[in-house]
Structure 1
Amino acid sequence: MKLLNKRYKIQKVFGQGGMGRVYLAEDIQTQEMVAVKECIVHGKDPEQTIRRIQREYFFLTKLEHPNLVKALDIFCWRNNYYLVMECIAGITLSQFIREKPNSIDFTKQLEIAKQLCSVVAAINQQGVIHRDLKPSNIILQGDNLTPRLLDLGIAKSINRELATITNMESIVGTPSYMSPEQIDHRLKVEKNTDVFCLGVVLYQFFSWLPQSPFYAGSAIATLDKIVHLELPPLFSDTSDIQYLRVSGMISLALRKSCEDRLDSADTMLEMLRGSAEIDGEQTKDEPVVAKNYMGVIVALIVFVISFGLYHYFYQVYPTVQHNKLYEAQYKKAIIYEEQKDFAKAIEEYTKLLEMKSSSHVYKKIGDCYLESRNYARAIENWQSALSLETNLAMKEDLEIATEVAFFVIYKDSQKTSYNDIQKARKLFDQAIDYGTQKKYGESLALLQEVVSLYPKAIDTYYAKAQLHYRLRQYKQAIISIKNFIQLKPQDDRNAYGLQGLCYFSLARYTQALSYYNKAIEANPDRAENYNNRGYLYATLGQYEKALVDCHKAIYIDSAQQQFHNSLAFIYNNLGFYERATQEVEISLKINPNNAIAYLHKAVSNYQLGKRNKALEYFQRAAKSMSHSELQKRYKVHKNSKLNDSNERMWRFFPRSEVDGYSEKNFER
């Protein structure tokens, strides 16, 4: 058996964590079983990663909370860090909910919930945001079902969208419990981010749902529900104040905006304690109340109950009924939209706005007007949505849709003379010449003149999209593609592939995959589409799918260098370095000056221990591209065999001073 740090004898692998494996091991010094968490150090700033790992150990030892797993040791072995923690026997909360629903009463649930709020509050008080609270991170220990939080989560790598679509387990897990601000990494993650995540866990626990209440079957639908769906109150069909207090607390924890949400897990705990006290229970340590105070106590109890009933019937109950009506109204509108009865759908969505202003509903109304070809009203509603929307990715999509609708109105309103058309044609030819000479800025300026003269010049928009893409102006490229499709919808099969490339470059992998799939469906004989989708799969660590697609691309057209480069990238990530080298040799026969091919060859040779050769090939690649550009082009997924040595490899490769890059050598 493998022995780590001359002390921990590995028994088996528990599972795969965010930064490496988690092992069950025997401590040969104490003869006790422990959990050893592997923390592979990689990324742009390894020193920062190491500090985060050390900080996790520091807090685990400092906190000593009864509901937090204890840290026992930390060590570095073969350039990787390991956290040693106590081994907890029990059942995860996610398993308990699925396998033993309704097996404990509300009072026991309340006890567990208070302990969870207590441990999260203790973590937050140390300035740590957990970020990854979920039922599978909580173990219920012993007959008393004491909850234990497995780790702090601060050493996890957070690449949100990649984690979202890598596999279905990830979708059911972490993203289903994310806060709205975690979905868009450009928004600040506040301390009460954990309040939202814990609120989701408690909502699922008290309602005995087998999955997160936001789970919707697919990644994009799940994230959409987190951002837009207001969950109905937990206990709406009861007048029991104790249940209503818990329901109200969770509703406040699940507010979408950090400013509107409960400020801390401490506040959640206090509200739960207040709920328990309503039951009239006394703790053993409480003194017996003197008889002469009993009248006052009874009066206070009557007042509290009266106030609670008033609060329920005049505040909570109307809110519950309002949410039920809202949900029913929303479902009604969706049905009309799916039936393509857009007039009825708009009517029902408008009723929703009378109940509550929502960017999502404005967007839906705009979409219906678009389908009805009422572009002005579509723009009007999308702009209303923009004024309310806080998610930056969704704002970007609304801006793109608005630009395209403006274009449709503009092109239909313009009258073009014969002379304008002739002039536009000459400018278009001149722009294409500039593009051939790689004068992309000049070419783009001329194409804009063409559009001004003749808004219906179809091919101009596709040419503009290609130039924007080369200039890395991906949002503008998407707008130009959509304008092209508006003018020539029957010829959108190539446009799908270019849209996929743009979304891939924006790291919006869900949309990229969707457009690659459409491109392949529309044009199954186009090799480039398979290669692009294969490279996306490789970026996500789904190497089997990647191999199938890239081999298909080569089967269709074996003379394209980038297809062999893609295969070399996949084989390097799988650890088949000799096979990767073979693909590079084929690639270099097609073009002996390709920087990316030399980069793949450098990586293969480094992993095979041929350091001098690796250095030679890397220096050839670095003649055209800088060290940072080359590294950016070699994103390594956590499933990759390169993970263990990736950071050391990039430290080995020397820095180059090349500022730009050669476009012809930039193909992957």
Structure 2
Amino acid sequence: MELLNKRYKLGRVLGQGAMGRVHLAQDVTTNQQVAIKECFAQNNDELIERIKREYELMKSMDHPGVVKAIDFLHFDNKYFIVMEFIEGITLHELIQRGRRTVKFVKQLEIAIKICEAVYFLNKNGIIHRDLKPQNIILDANYNPKILDLGIAKLENVDHSITQTGNIIGTPTYMSPEQIDGKSATNSDVFSTAVILYQFFSWAKQSPFHGHGAISSMTNVVEKKLPPINLKLAYKNYEVRLGKTFAKSMRKDHEKRSKTVENMLTAFKDTLKAIKRKEIINKVITTVGSTLVTGLFILLWVLRGSFMVDNDSPLPNTHFEDGNTFFSQQKYSEAITEYRKAINLGEKSGEIFYNIGLCYSSLEKYQKSIKYYTEALRYWRGEVWENPYSASGHFQRARAYVLTKQFEKALKDLNKTLEILHKMKAFGDLGSANQVKKTAKEIDEELAAAYFLRGVLHYENQKNTATIQDLKKAITLNPSLKKQASEILEKARANLKK
């Protein structure tokens, strides 16, 4: 087969549109696969100018989120742009596959990289003007790259092919000012927000999609979108993301976010919050069930030693039913049974603590805080302070962290460590009726408390305190080393800056 420019061996067609077709090709000099865009210029000086400018822009852009041009060919009245080849799918294709394709965390990572690429283009004076899911390709690891700078515009540079009055872009994703034949420095902000709103909604079409181009453009100018609707597990992040999208999709470009930086920050903060939550949950799982359900198990087996006397068997029955539901992870049903026991007069720190655990498991942390607080109120009056109140303080600290009440969390963790250290020093603080904890169990609880406090110090950018607490946690429980290593590495790096 004849080589293009004696270098490129053309293969299958990857795609085709009104302005050209893209071939997969082999660069015989480097033995690398490339993509070659064959442009349909048809002796049109305006189109030829656009093709040349697209190559120059792609050639000058050096960013991992923007496809880079390699070569430009012109012969036999044909024009070709040689680009790096990305093996993957477009964002459009990913969205069509549906909600279960990637997790919310991966969506955030993709959105962050898209915003970083758009920010890079805009910062370098380039307005893409045709951002859409079809123009974003994802590699095998879901790293996005922006394609097609064919109608991109350099800020403050007047080109005959981009003069005011021409509608340029894709109707369902273009900004309102583009419909008027104009473009603003933040036109790409609007388009990016529309793309990501669709992506997080898993909608098959743009939220402004109409029955035709005129209908779609009318929607862009007039339609107000409802707040973003996320999966139940991520409802807590809807308000922040909703406000961010609203600012980025304001119809008046002068009132719209000036850059995609507002979205970028929101996505990064959301991702950071989710990962912080994952770290906290992971450490609790890693150290075993002692701190999360250890008290629950003890109360289930030995509740006769703890519960208040009551002539009626009904409270006990409801408590046991609640325990059964808890063990089956039917937390709402467990709460119902525990409340029945309370209504029948059975009130104690233990039952309130168990309700707190149920609400924590349902990720209703504000409610869990209320019940942990009630449990601690009951325990506080006991001799030497009930040793299991350490678990109450720890669980409330965890809930405080997950609701970003960091100062309160720190106080509870300090109290947890104080009680546990007393227990370790005196062998046990329990009465004769209570089960004594082994040294290993106390060390595991201390390790969990130090680890969580270390994570909290890291979030507060107290790197030295982070390192100290995580080291203590690892010493007490070496199994935490793997999880602590990433945070330790980051904390040490921060100290060197």
* TM-score normalised by length of structure 2: 0.50
SS at match of 1:279: helix
Query: Cα 1:11–1:237, aligned 2, differ >3 Å: closer, same or farther?
Result: closer
How many residue pairs match? The answer is 281
The alignment partner of 2:171 has SS state of: helix
Aligned to 2:146: 149
**CA distance in 2: counterparts of 1:6 and 1:236, whole angstroms:** 52
Q: Report the secondary structure of 2:81's partner residue.
A: strand
The alignment status of 1:182 with 2:178, answered yes or no, reads yes
Deviations 1:204-245 (A, max 9, x none): 100000111111222222111111000001038979443322
- Checking the alignment, whether the CA contact within 8 Å between 1:128 and 1:154 is kept in structure 2 is no
Question: Structure 2 matches for 1:414-433, cutoff 5 A?
Answer: none
Partner of 2:405: 302
The one-letter amino acid paired with 2:145 is R
Q: Which runs of 5+ in 1 are unaligned?
A: 165-172, 285-293, 306-668
Relative to 1, partners in 2 of residues 1:78 and 1:283: Cα closer, same or farther, differing over 3 Å?
Answer: farther
Residues 537-568 of structure 1 show CA distances to partners (whole Å, capped at 9, x for unaligned) of xxxxxxxxxxxxxxxxxxxxxxxxxxxxxxxx
Q: Distance in 1 between matches of 2:127 and 2:137?
A: 20
Is the partner of 2:172 in helix, strand or coil?
helix
Say which of 66, 69, 78 aligns to 2:64.
66
**Paired residue for 2:262?**
267
Q: How do 1:395-544 residues align onto structure 2 when only pairs under 5 Å count?
A: none
Name the CA distance, whole Å, in 1 between partners of 2:144 and 2:402.
Answer: 38
Q: 2:225 aligns with which of 220, 231, 256?
A: 231
Q: Determine whether 1:253 maps to 2:248.
A: yes
CA distance in 2 between counterparts of 1:304 and 1:139 reads 44
Q: 1:214 to 1:159 in 2, by over 3 A?
A: farther
Quote how far apart the aligned CAs of 1:2 are.
5.1
Q: How does 1:86-101 map to 2 (within 5 A)?
A: 86-101=84-99
User: Cα–Cα, structure 1 residues 11 and 43, in superposed 2: closer, same or farther, change >3 Å?
Assistant: closer
CA displacement, residues 30-85 of structure 1 (integer Å, 9 cap, x when unaligned): 222211112344687x3x65554444333323332112212211122223332100
Q: Deviations over 1:99-148 (max 9, x none)?
A: 23332221111111000000011111111111111111112211x21112
Match of 1:202 in 2: 196
CA apart distance, 1:198: 0.7
Q: Provide the rounded CA distance (Å) in 2 between the counterparts of 1:159 and 1:19.
A: 19
- 2:405 maps to a residue whose letter is V
Distance in structure 2 (CA, Å) of the matches to 1:12 and 1:299: 51
Whole-Å separation in 1 of the counterparts to 2:212 and 2:166: 14
Q: Unaligned 5+ residue runs, structure 2?
A: 154-160, 280-396, 409-497
Question: 1:102-181, aligned counterparts within 5 Å?
Answer: 102-142=100-140, 144-154=141-151, 174-181=170-177
Q: Quick one: distance in 2 between partners of 1:281 and 1:78? A: 59
> Alpha-carbon deviation of 1:203?
0.8
Identity of aligned residues (%): 43
1:20 to 1:237, Cα distance in 2 relative to 1, 3 A: closer
CA displacement at 1:272 relative to structure 2: 1.9
Structure showing the higher helix proportion among its residues: 1
Q: What CA distance in whole angstroms lies between the structure 2 residues aligned with 1:227 and 1:30?
A: 49
**Aligned-pair RMSD on alpha carbons?**
3.6
C-alpha change, 1:266 and 1:8, in structure 2 (3 Å) is: same
Partner of 1:311: none
CA 1:19–1:133: 2 relative to 1, 3 Å: same
The answer for the alignment partner of 1:601 in structure 2 is none
Cross-structure match for 1:8: 8
Q: Write the deviation string for residues 363-416 of structure 1: whole angstroms up to 9, x where unpaired.
A: xxxxxxxxxxxxxxxxxxxxxxxxxxxxxxxxxxxxxxxxxxxxxxxxxxxxxx
Aligned to 2:24: 24
Provide, for residues 311-353 of structure 1, a one-character-per-residue CA deviation record: whole Å limited to 9, x for no partner.
xxxxxxxxxxxxxxxxxxxxxxxxxxxxxxxxxxxxxxxxxxx
Q: Specify whether residues 283 and 126 from structure 1 end up closer, same or farther in structure 2 by C-alpha distance, changes over 3 A only.
A: farther
Q: Which has the higher contact order (CA 8 A, sep 6+)?
A: 2
- Say if 1:299 and 1:270 are closer, same or farther in 2 by CA, change over 3 A: closer
> What's the offset of the Cα at 1:276?
2.5
CA contact (8 A) 2:51 2:150 kept: no
SS of 2:263's partner is helix
State the partner residue of 1:56.
54
SS of residue in 1 equivalent to 2:217: helix
SS at match of 2:72: strand
- What do the CA deviations read for 1:424-457 (whole angstroms, capped 9, x no partner)? xxxxxxxxxxxxxxxxxxxxxxxxxxxxxxxxxx
Shift of 1:176: 1.2
Question: Residues 228 and 242 of structure 2 are in contact (CA less than 8 Å); yes or no, is this contact kept in structure 1?
Answer: yes
Letter in 1 for 2:142: L
Separation of aligned partners in 2, 1:160 and 1:21 = 28
User: Match of 1:177, SS?
Assistant: coil
Is the alpha carbon distance of 1:6 and 1:218 closer, same or farther for their aligned partners in structure 2, counting shifts above 3 Å?
same
Following TM superposition, by how much is the alpha carbon of 1:3 offset from its aligned partner in structure 2, in angstroms? 3.2
Q: Which residue is 2:215 aligned to?
A: 221
Distance 2:230 2:5 in 1: 55
Residue identity opposite 1:202 in structure 2: L
C-alpha separation in 1, matches of 2:18 and 2:72: 17
Structure 2: distance between partners of 1:43 and 1:183: 28
